[in-house]
Amino acid sequence: MNKTKRFCAIALAAMMAASALAACGPEQTTPTTPATPTSSDTTSQPGDSTGGEVEDPLYGEGANGTINLKVWGPDAAQEVLKSQCAEFIENMKPYGTIEIEVVPMGEDVAATQTLTDASAAADVFGFACDNLDRLVTAGVLTELVGADKDYVTENNSASSVDAATINDQLWAFPETGDNSYILVYNKDYVSADQAKTLEGVLEACKASNKKFVMDAGNGFYSCMFMFTGGLKIDGFMEDGVTQKFTDYDEATVVKTLAAFQDLFTQYKDNILFGEVTKVVDGFKSDSAAAGIDGSWNFSGAKEALGDKAGFAVLPTINVDGTDEQIINMFGYKLLGVNSSTKYPSTSIELAKYLSGEKCQQERAEKLNWGPSNKAVAESDVVKNDEALSAILAQSEFSVAQKGIASSFWSPAGTLGSKITDFDNPLSEDDIKKLVKQTIANIKDE
């Protein structure tokens, strides 16, 4: 490596360190030994405090002396993401020329697209943490080591770091700490007290002749029925493929599912079991009073309801005379660096910047994304925001969206559809059979 390239690496390290201080359902396996992708462990990276030479050229080797990178991010974040990438490019001007193409690609499909053809995928891409296992197994992620790993662990919540880790190896930068859902409601129709219990929410919907909206046939949401009853996932069996579950009391699970079914049946005229997009649609048309919605739609709810928008942790449900907290699934969005990138060092620095405090704070302000960054989580922008405060509080009543077999989603969704089928109510014996069949289907698929 010539002196110019080495200088760029050292200069980049100094600049990024200063910037950090200033900013103050798919197939999965858990391998014993992950496949070996292009990794940052062979040389010192730009983010390393020691600097040093790197194998990949930072600048000057791309077309016309320009490094060209591609970033994938969701539609809703395109404007903000483009602005942040432009800021990164501006910061790097003293050291070289970078061009970044920002392309719409949802976190739900980015992993699949990367696995299909990593060479055509983005250099940096966002994905949901439940995709980590299969991405690592396929060897399409660049491992983060040394100062990069230290940076992530020091600046992000322990749970988000765990979501990006397999066998003590760190594979991505945490981007959010909010990939989950809570209760969203119209304060004109539902009071803060009523929002504490599912019975209160449904009664408020009935009193106002409005709908309660939930995507009950989607395993991501319907898993709350099982989880609330104590049936929860626990990673994989020894084969690294078969879904493992925690110990549970079958009678409790059955009673809990029956409680959901009975309550929904009681208020069936005020319930809409449709796609999650119908929550905000219902607020816009004034046909819905409340719904179960994800953090990615908080901005839409605020736009539709204004000051009337209410946000709360999921309510309780009464099971055999006891109010039980509804338990959901909670995940994290991560930024991965493609192991096929021509510029791993530059891509790592870009992912580090986009996942850093400054960018997370901006996304919290503009997109209502909940942070994984510890400093942003303690900032006024989060503490003074009802939606962000509620989604972060929900993490205490959740099952981590990690170590989930691809076979989990469809049977869980089927269970939700059957529990909420008003035309074919289930007896407790039917529910017991449904639970057994759901587990069998998840393990056998």
Tokens of 348: 């790592």
Tokens of 207: 């009193």
Spatial contact of 113 and 26, defined as CB atoms under 8 Å apart: no
Q: What are 264-302's pLDDT values in tens digits?
A: 999 999 999 999 999 999 999 999 999 999 988 898 999
Laid out side by side, the sheet with 271-272 consists of 271-272, 211-213, 288-294, 181-186, 309-312
Q: What are 17-76's pLDDT values in tens digits?
A: 344 333 333 333 333 333 333 344 333 333 332 233 333 444 444 445 789 999 999 998
In the predicted model, residues of the chain with pLDDT beneath 70 are: 1-64, 445
Q: What are phi and psi of 410, to 5 degrees?
A: -65, -50
Q: What is the pLDDT of residue 44?
A: 34
Q: What is the pLDDT of residue 64?
A: 55
3-178+331-395: which CATH architecture?
3-Layer(aba) Sandwich (3.40)
Q: pTM score > 0.85 for this model? A: no
The CATH number of the domain covering residues in 181-330+405-444? 3.40.190.10
Cα 303 from Cα 297, distance rounded (Å): 10
Q: CATH 3.40.190.10 residue ranges in the chain?
A: 3-178+331-395, 181-330+405-444
